[in-house]
Amino acid sequence: MEISVREALRRPGEMIPFHLEFSLDPMTVHADPVSFPGQLVLDGFSMGLEEDEETVLLSGTLSFRWESVCARCAEKAEGENLVEFQEEFGRVKDDRYPDRYLFAGETLQLDDLVSDQILMDLPIRFLCREDCQGLCPVCGCNLNREQCDCDRSGGSSPFDVLKNLHLDDE
């Protein structure tokens, strides 16, 4: 996806509005599949910088819905995010600004910007709800929907030997 910055470059210092609606293919995040139902919406302004005619400032919001699998119970997890951003695009690479996106001509390619904003704003672990009880480690029932009589208090674990480990303070 791209936007034209012809007007922003011709009229530095003026904020030129833009609005994009687009769909996004599913991706894998933290080894989990994530899909994006509906349209993602990118709204904002582009502005050519008066002091540097080779740089465009882009600011705005990205709103999107996501769906994945709950890390605790394997049911559907979903959410809605609104991300505010302000990023620079430059025609030439500048080591003083390593996070600057590059562009050529009079258009900005926004794929990397959108991906970066989504990845920074998605949760590290997808949950169907904050208080999800997960699955019983013994029988596998979903503890959000039913309770079981399994004994989850003990059992052997390869880490049981650590209980007897005594560290000397020296």
Q: pLDDT for 90-149, tens place per residue?
A: 988 888 888 899 999 999 999 999 999 999 999 999 999 999 999 998 888 999 999 988
129 within some domain: no
Percent of the chain with pLDDT over 90: 71
pLDDT band at 167 (very low <50, low <70, confident <90, very high): low
Q: Is the pLDDT of residue 169 over 60?
A: no
Total number of domains constituting the chain: 1
15 within some domain: yes
134 within some domain: no
Handedness of CA 12, 14, 15, 17 (dihedral sign): negative
Q: Which of 145, 128, 126, 127 is nearest to 136 (CA)?
A: 145
136 within some domain: no
Residue 109 to residue 27: CA distance in whole angstroms: 19
63 within some domain: yes
Residue 35 to residue 64: CA distance in whole angstroms: 10
- Give the domain range for residue 33: 2-121
143 within some domain: no
pLDDT computed for residue 157 by the predictor? 64
137 within some domain: no
Q: Is the pLDDT of residue 78 over 70?
A: yes
99 within some domain: yes
